Amino acid sequence: MMQQGGIPGAKECEKRRDVCPAWLRACALASALLVSLLLTVVLACAVGSYPSTVGESLRALLQAAGFAAGEAVDPSLSVVIVDIRLARVLLAGLTGASLAIAGAAFQGVLRNPLADSFTLGVSGGAAFGASVAIISGMAGEAALSGDARALPACALVGALTALALVLGLSRAGGGPLSGLRRETVVLAGIVVSTFLSALISLLKSLDEESVASIVFWIMGSFQGRGFEHAELAWPYMLVGAAIVFWRARELDVLALGETQARMLGLEAGRSRLWLLLAASLLSGAAVAVSGVIGFVGLVVPHLVRLVLGAGHRRLLPASALLGALLLIWSDVAARSVLPGGAELPVGVVTALIGGPFFCLILARKGLKNRGEA
């Protein structure tokens, strides 16, 4: 029965692949994502409590880019659209792309479909680092002043510490990383994550003044974020993304497992270390400017794999674009669904989308395992 049910699906799959070769699908998806990203920026800049139309948004953006098109936009509206909304959209896009790349890298390195910055506790660690930075006065109250430069660094240290803890907990003896139990990594991540959020709550109760800003790290939000935050984070994100992209082929080889990767000539340990560092850099930078936002890094690579397969040369750029799209729209939802200009934390929106998806992955994995047994 199982066999008969499986074969027609596989045939259809093959047919689809014959009609449309992999590179063509990759190009089509990439251009579709790019076009939707441009459209998204214009549309997302038109949404908000201050009334504006899509046309005004487009004109204001073109004006800011140096192209005068049609009549000039009201200057105060232009400020809202460019300085407030565009900055937010930009930051949401950068954060979404970073989280998606980090998720793809974590899933590839650990060969675990449930791994991402959030489930591994890396985001929690980064949030803890950021909280410590704020409490100890290393970063300004709202992380706006010049000394906020310490923030991404502290978040990165927190992220790496959490990752080291999780990997240490899930190691089953043997060399570093070689004896990792794939199943226990996420379990250890949840333990560390829970522990760290308790620590953050403890810090919060110790320092009443910083409560508001620390809540922000735990929930994740782009409220009141501007160009200066994007400026703070992008160098870290760029370096992290560059390392992961350069090592895309290594991620493919690592997918074969430790022994085969080494047979093919990869120094598996060193490659994993670099990729984990880069993914932590991406997560840390994202958390430093936007707080803990879950599920983007988990969901996006899975969606892309369904269409493009697992080859990381295609998976990574497509994930970055889709991650940016998803988080920009989540932020639009976060700032527009509540009446009267109130905002939802964007982490709530991504969790509402991602939670059910997480269950779907688990259910599919369960079905597959039962089919094999």
Partner 1 sequence: MIRARNLHCGYGGHEVLRGVDLHLAAGEFAALLGPNGSGKTTLLLALAGLLPPLSGGVELAGRDISGLSARERALLVSCVPQGAAAPAGYSVQELVRMGRYAHTGFLGGYGPQDDDAAQAALADAHCLDLAERQAAELSGGEFQRVLLARALCQGRRALLLDEATSALDLARRVEAFDLLARQHKAGSTVFAAAHDLNLAALYCPRLVFLKAGRIVLDGPTSDVFTEANLKDIYDTDLRVAPHPVTGAPQAHLVPGAHAHASLLR
Binding site for partner 1 (CB under 8 A): 10, 13-14, 17-18, 22, 174, 246, 249, 252-253, 255-257, 259-260, 262-268, 305, 309-311, 313
Residue indicated by tokens 């990439």: 30
Letter string b/e over residues 353-363, b meaning 16 or more CB atoms within 10 A of that residue's CB: ebeeebeeeee
Cβ proximity to partner 1, 232 vs 266, nearer residue: 266
* Torsion region of 15: left, alpha or beta (phi above 0 gives left; psi -120 to 50 gives alpha): alpha
Residue indicated by tokens 């982490």: 347
Contact 350, 327 (CB under 8 A): yes
What is the C-alpha to C-alpha distance for residues 117 and 128, in angstroms, rounded to an integer?
Answer: 14
What is the C-alpha to C-alpha distance for residues 49 and 371, in angstroms, rounded to an integer?
Answer: 51
- Tokens for 72? 């000039």
Please, what is the minimum distance in Å from the beta carbon of residue 323 to partner 1? 18
Cβ proximity to partner 1, 28 vs 39, nearer residue: 28
Please, what is the minimum distance in Å from the beta carbon of residue 22 to partner 1? 7
Cβ proximity to partner 1, 16 vs 149, nearer residue: 16
Please, what is the minimum distance in Å from the beta carbon of residue 57 to partner 1? 38
Triad 333, 338, 340: Cα angle to 5°? 130
Contact 102, 240 (CB under 8 A): yes
What is the C-alpha to C-alpha distance for residues 171 and 173, in angstroms, rounded to an integer?
Answer: 6
Q: Which of 20, 70, 79 is nearest to 50 (CA)?
A: 79
Cβ proximity to partner 1, 195 vs 245, nearer residue: 245
Please, what is the minimum distance in Å from the beta carbon of residue 255 to partner 1? 4
Please, what is the minimum distance in Å from the beta carbon of residue 306 to partner 1? 9
Cβ proximity to partner 1, 20 vs 69, nearer residue: 20
Cβ proximity to partner 1, 11 vs 149, nearer residue: 11
Please, what is the minimum distance in Å from the beta carbon of residue 225 to partner 1? 35
Residue 245 parent element (H or E): helix 227-246
Please, what is the minimum distance in Å from the beta carbon of residue 310 to partner 1? 3
Tally Cβ neighbours within 10 Å of residue 69.
12
Burial label for 111, CB within 10 Å (0-12, 13-18, 19+), is middle
Cβ proximity to partner 1, 266 vs 299, nearer residue: 266
Burial label for 327, CB within 10 Å (0-12, 13-18, 19+), is buried
Cβ proximity to partner 1, 141 vs 267, nearer residue: 267
Please, what is the minimum distance in Å from the beta carbon of residue 182 to partner 1? 12
